[in-house]
Chain A
Amino acid sequence: DIQMTQSPSTLSASVGDRVTITCRASQSISSWLAWYQQRPGKAPNLLIYKASSLESGVPSRFSGSGSGTEFTLTISSLQPDDFATYYCQQYNSYSRTFGQGTKVEIK
């Protein structure tokens, strides 16, 4: 199985900060990567697919980049609603795998 590793595991930031989360794949996955946001007690919500395509309805402050084995999710100006846990997910192989998550906390 393809392993996905996110860093950092926890990130402390303030409203208005620019935030970057990294996701690394154990082998090349081309651009077959998605990002999700999960708030406590809720289901995950799709933010980005195909590494950099913004899902309809998702604010433009979210952006994704990368290909191959290294990917980033950037929030350009952190808003109160953005304090949550973020997961990457590869779909290069049929056995989809997620990163372990990055929790974005209030500083």
Chain B
Amino acid sequence: QVQLVESGGGLVKPGGSLRLSCAASGFTFSDYYMSWIRQAPGKGLEWVSYISSSSIYTNYADSVKGRFTISRDNAKNSLYLQMNSLRGEDTAVYYCAKDAIGGPHYFDYWGQGTLVSVSS
């Protein structure tokens, strides 16, 4: 069955960096767009970034553009999110999610999330 397992979250100081990883299994990873979505404590869902199946296309929310970089390694069935210049408002649970069909659409599988806390 489809599994998405995030890792790499933790406590980081403002201005610091963190790299999140998502290990995928149970489907042909290289066939699907993948996304990162976050949820601040007690708040709603915010789409952060997506990457196309072959890494040709990426897109970012305005709130993270220029600071976050999404990437993937299809040989390792892994998705990544490099987060630089972190701010307090980046504190959230970060979910890795599989796009349902060929293209950025809806999300049919989600990981359990990894918590990123930005605080001095």
Asked whether, in the complex, the Cβ of A46 is within 8 Å of the Cβ of B44, the reply is no
A50: nearest chain-B partner, CB-CB: B106
Given the known A-B contacts A34-B106, A49-B106, are A98 and B100 also in contact in the complex, defined by CB atoms under 8 Å? no
Size of the A side of the interface (Cβ < 8 Å), in residues, is 23
Distance of A100 Cα from B107 Cα, bound (Å): 17
Distance of A71 Cα from B101 Cα, bound (Å): 22
Given the known A-B contacts A98-B44, A98-B45, A98-B46, are A43 and B106 also in contact in the complex, defined by CB atoms under 8 Å? no
Name the A residues within 8 Å of B100 (CB-CB): 46, 49
Asked whether, in the complex, the Cβ of A43 is within 8 Å of the Cβ of B59, the reply is no
Distance of A103 Cα from B77 Cα, bound (Å): 35
What are the interface flags for B62-106 relative to A under an 8 Å C-beta threshold, 1 for contact and 0 otherwise? 100000000000000000000000000000000100001000111
Given the known A-B contacts A94-B50, A95-B47, A100-B44, are A89 and B112 also in contact in the complex, defined by CB atoms under 8 Å? no
What are the interface flags for A12-43 relative to B under an 8 Å C-beta threshold, 1 for contact and 0 otherwise? 00000000000000000000101010100011
